[in-house]
Amino acid sequence: KAGVTQTPRYLIKTRGQQVTLSCSPISGHRSVSWYQQTPGQGLQFLFEYFSETQRNKGNFPGRFSGRQFSNSRSEMNVSTLELGDSALYLCASSYNSGSAEAFFGQGTRLTVV
Amino acid sequence: QKEVEQDPGPLSVPEGAIVSLNCTYSNSAFQYFMWYRQYSRKGPELLMYTYSSGNKEDGRFTAQVDKSSKYISLFIRDSQPSDSATYLCAMIGISSGSARQLTFGSGTQLTVLP
């Protein structure tokens, strides 16, 4: 069974640009959650999508957005990048919304210069 | 104050030692308690989860939850150098609101010395 796939693995962007990250969940899983991981703040919840609907949202500015497609694949977008957006972005896949069994991808390492 | 507090370590132990990792939390809405292991440059890997209070064992790993004290632990027996990683506790509740998302501790960095 294939795991959670995140693309790309690494990204370097310039301040002010925008970026789109992609996450393909485990087959059959309908919930995708996104997290930002930094050394100072640890893992912080961004948002969760279930059946193409945003179910929950963390405390991040509106520059962070996401969506989910009918095949459960999800994308997150960050507009007007700031240096502080440099982080490891992780997505987690689970069968149902709010499930204790969440499986993470390898993450996308975003560096903003 | 963070909802989930975890001692960041670092923690170094000799091979074969018993390791104890702990987290405390403040939100009584949390019902499921998870432990993840994260190797450098990798995503977190789910080790085990428990529901409500009690113990759960899986091989060399034992998870304990004490909801009355809002305290959870992970014990690793016969620790191996391959256990060297960052261990993250996480919690979730099925009610609505902020508890309905995984909330993580800051992680404890563990090194098992051969």
* B107, β-bridge pairs: none
Nearest CA in chain A to B44: A104
d(CA A1, CA B76): 28
* B85, β-bridge pairs: B110
* B34, β-bridge pairs: B49, B90
The pLDDT confidence band at residue B97, using thresholds 50, 70 and 90, is low
User: Is beta strand A108-112 parallel, antiparallel or unpaired with respect to A10-13?
Assistant: parallel
Q: Picking from A19-23, B61-65, B97-101, which range would have the lowest pLDDT averaged per residue?
A: B97-101
For Cα atoms B85, A108, B25, give the angle at the middle one, nearest 5 degrees.
50
The pLDDT confidence band at residue A81, using thresholds 50, 70 and 90, is very high
Distance in Å, alpha carbon of A102 to nearest chain B alpha carbon: 7
- Count of other CB atoms within 10 angstroms of residue B55: 12
Mean pLDDT of A54-83: 96
Which residues of chain A neighbour B108 with C-beta distances below 8 Å? none
Judge whether residue B100 has pLDDT over 80.
no
Cβ contact A56–B101 (<8 Å): yes
At residue A108, the pLDDT reads: 98
Over residues B21-76, the pLDDT tens digits come to 999 999 988 999 999 999 998 999 999 999 888 899 999 999 999 999 999 999 99
**Contact of A43 with A33, CB cutoff 8 Å:** no
d(CA A28, CA A73): 11
Interface of B with A in 26-65 (CB under 8 A): 32, 34, 36, 42-46, 49, 51
DSSP readout, B9-30?
A: --EEEETT--EEEEEEE--TT-
Judge whether residue B7 has pLDDT over 90.
no
Cβ contact A92–B102 (<8 Å): yes
Which residues of chain A neighbour B56 with C-beta distances below 8 Å? none
Cβ contact B104–A92 (<8 Å): no
At residue A5, the pLDDT reads: 97
At residue B53, the pLDDT reads: 85
Which residues of chain B neighbour A48 with C-beta distances below 8 Å? 101
Over residues A26-38, the pLDDT tens digits come to 999 999 999 999 9
Nearest CA in chain B to A42: B106
Which residues of chain B neighbour A46 with C-beta distances below 8 Å? none
Disruptive mutation site among A21, A43, A101 for chain B (greatest number of B CBs within 10 Å): A43
The pLDDT confidence band at residue B83, using thresholds 50, 70 and 90, is very high
Judge whether residue B99 has pLDDT over 90.
no
> Of B42, B103, B107, which has the smallest distance from its Cβ to A106's Cβ?
B42
At residue B96, the pLDDT reads: 59
Distance in Å, alpha carbon of A70 to nearest chain B alpha carbon: 22
d(CA A82, CA A36): 14
Cβ contact A43–B104 (<8 Å): yes
Mean pLDDT of A9-27: 98
**Contact of B79 with B13, CB cutoff 8 Å:** yes
